[in-house]
Structure 1
């Protein structure tokens, strides 16, 4: 193994074990891998075992042949058999595909949901990813790469605001519909399902707000802490719950599931309005 896990940077034990296994499993089957870099929560120093993915970019020397694809499939099967309690996702790309739009990378080989996909399914190759790779990426295998592509802040901010006003706006609409349905049917909300929505939406949208205000990238928990400093006090409870859920901690501040959902929707609407105000 060239370069060493983390290239001198400490990574969590499960991440190190997983990447050691992946590197070994790939190297015994193919010589086409030039380097592997970690991004995501590991690179942002906020990896939470049991909650976070291990995100990687593998850079290949030449377009992969069918033999290479089969080798990668078998390598990941070996990793899953050896370390079933880990969740990794990543993409195998050429050096010249770094910083390209996902739709411009063809073919795009990805590992997502414990399967290899040839159509790029599960890839998250976007300006946020390229920002983290260049500024915070951790080399775990191969020669160190000079990421000499330009990071255009306008492109980053435009991507984030568009994502917020499409994907995240859709979440707000669905949560409002859920609230209305529950009220009309006088149903009970399922707490575990609501936990997932609180963690995903509150921290996810706070990351967007952080980027638009600070022109940088934050982890989910980091964005939650940022929210506690920059969002009105009345929504601190739902943010604290979102952080606790992400960190797999049991503490909850609400006794009413309806109140939790109502506050979540109100927080998300505030973030959307504030984010658009900042971007103007």
Structure 2
């Protein structure tokens, strides 16, 4: 059973789309909802709409109007998704012939904010939830090497940039400095659970939610990291429960944990690639 806000939002969007355009074949949910880990006020509602033909300017206006109507009626929900052709499922954004993306409460025709990658295709194929239209057969292939390659590349670019920024912040503060607790809360939740998801995928050849990754970390990682991981889980659930009296100490441990996860994920990836070869 879907969370009430997800059900209400997607029912309204699909209804509005269907009355404005005949070009929508199906609408599916993926992301945290499909992984059964949606948290109201903390999670996005991720969807993918399959269109029958490349959207015309009239279709684009109809889709925009449908989203504007939903935003007015249900303003406190974060929804994001793409409109693509059936033949483009499983492809890279650069290979997709026609792509509309609703992101940050705006409809983009240039692919901005598109969340289409091997993780998206994996979740959609294995856990996608049909909300509207025809039931589809997702016959595209997602090779495990492709999934792992994407994850390690993301780890060594996006997540390394996070580590560098946090380490730079740590090196510039002293005991008398004030560290914004709310900003650090955000970094603890986003980075800890985000990088644990990368580790989980590389080690288990599967995908889990952020909360799932947190509990996986508690199970698999040394006990010294458990307090920080518990913090990240509680922040994600919008019920912050802090284990640290010092923000500097918390930032220090966060940087150390992220470095540990980065090294461990790369170590495991290297071993697995050698075994495959």
Query: Fold-level match, TM-score > 0.5?
Result: yes
1:177 aligns with 2:168: yes
Residue 194 (structure 2) aligns with: 204
Partners in 2 of 1:103 and 1:235 — Cα distance? 39
CA drift of 1:251 comes to 1.5
Aligned partner (choices 220, 230, 249) of residue 220 of structure 2: 230
- Aligned to 1:35, the other structure's residue is in SS state strand
Partners in 2 of 1:181 and 1:124 — Cα distance? 34
- Aligned to 2:173, the other structure's residue is in SS state helix
CA drift of 1:215 comes to 0.2
Aligned partner (choices 102, 106, 126) of residue 93 of structure 2: 102
Q: Deviations over 1:103-146 (max 9, x none)?
A: 11133210000010111111110000000000000001111100
Aligned partner (choices 243, 247, 266) of residue 233 of structure 2: 243
Partners in 2 of 1:151 and 1:162 — Cα distance? 16
Partners in 2 of 1:93 and 1:213 — Cα distance? 32
Alignment TM-score, normalising by the size of structure 1: 0.95
Q: Which runs of structure 2 are paired with 1:122-141 in the superposition (5 Å)?
A: 122-141=113-132
Q: Deviations over 1:174-221 (max 9, x none)?
A: 0000111223x9421000000110110000000000000000000000
Please say if residues 51 and 247 of structure 1, whose CA atoms lie closer than 8 Å, have aligned partners that are also in contact: yes
Please say if residues 231 and 240 of structure 2, whose CA atoms lie closer than 8 Å, have aligned partners that are also in contact: no
- Aligned to 1:28, the other structure's residue is in SS state helix
Partners in 1 of 2:12 and 2:125 — Cα distance? 25
CA drift of 1:249 comes to 0.6
Residue 248 (structure 2) aligns with: 258
CA drift of 1:274 comes to 0.6
Please say if residues 85 and 98 of structure 2, whose CA atoms lie closer than 8 Å, have aligned partners that are also in contact: no
Aligned partner (choices 51, 54, 60) of residue 42 of structure 2: 51
Aligned partner (choices 157, 182, 189) of residue 192 of structure 1: 182
Please say if residues 207 and 220 of structure 1, whose CA atoms lie closer than 8 Å, have aligned partners that are also in contact: yes
Partners in 2 of 1:276 and 1:108 — Cα distance? 33
Task: Please identify runs of 4+ aligned residues in structure 1 that moved more than 3 A.
Answer: none
Q: Which runs of 5+ in 1 are unaligned?
A: 1-9
CA drift of 1:64 comes to 0.2
Please say if residues 101 and 113 of structure 2, whose CA atoms lie closer than 8 Å, have aligned partners that are also in contact: yes
Please say if residues 30 and 120 of structure 2, whose CA atoms lie closer than 8 Å, have aligned partners that are also in contact: yes
Partners in 1 of 2:216 and 2:2 — Cα distance? 24
Residue 153 (structure 1) aligns with: 144
CA drift of 1:252 comes to 1.1
Aligned partner (choices 153, 163, 167) of residue 154 of structure 2: 163
Greater mean alpha carbon deviation, residues 246-255 or residues 185-194? 185-194
Partners in 2 of 1:244 and 1:175 — Cα distance? 21
CA drift of 1:102 comes to 1.2
Partners in 2 of 1:148 and 1:250 — Cα distance? 42
Please say if residues 107 and 119 of structure 1, whose CA atoms lie closer than 8 Å, have aligned partners that are also in contact: no
1:73 aligns with 2:64: yes
